[in-house]
Amino acid sequence: MKVSVDQTVCREYANCIVEAPDVFDLDEENGKVIALITEPDPSQYDEVRAAAASCPVKAITLHE
């Protein structure tokens, strides 16, 4: 799995960070989402999928 994020649509709701705090964070510069890990471990797949599903603006794309 590969994770990509689109800062141009992120609205800083932080739902993704609640779901997967080891994978997502907010950029200190602009407050938008960043992916701390772009190729998560299989043990993280469930939380990454939950994070992507939780984003109201679909800023997180998973390549599986």
Binding region for ligand SF4 (CB under 6 A): 5, 10-16, 33, 54-55, 57, 59-60
Smallest distance from the beta carbon of 43 to ligand SF4, in angstroms?
21
| 8-state DSSP, 4 | E
Q: Hey, what amino acid is at 44?
A: Q
Query: In this structure, what are the phi and psi dihedrals at residue 42, rounded to the nearest 5 degrees?
Result: -50, -30
Under 8 Å CB-to-CB from 38, ≥6 apart: which residues?
A: 2, 3, 4
> Quick one: 16 or 48, whose CB is closer to ligand SF4?
16
> Quick one: 32 or 45, whose CB is closer to ligand SF4?
32
> Quick one: 26 or 45, whose CB is closer to ligand SF4?
26
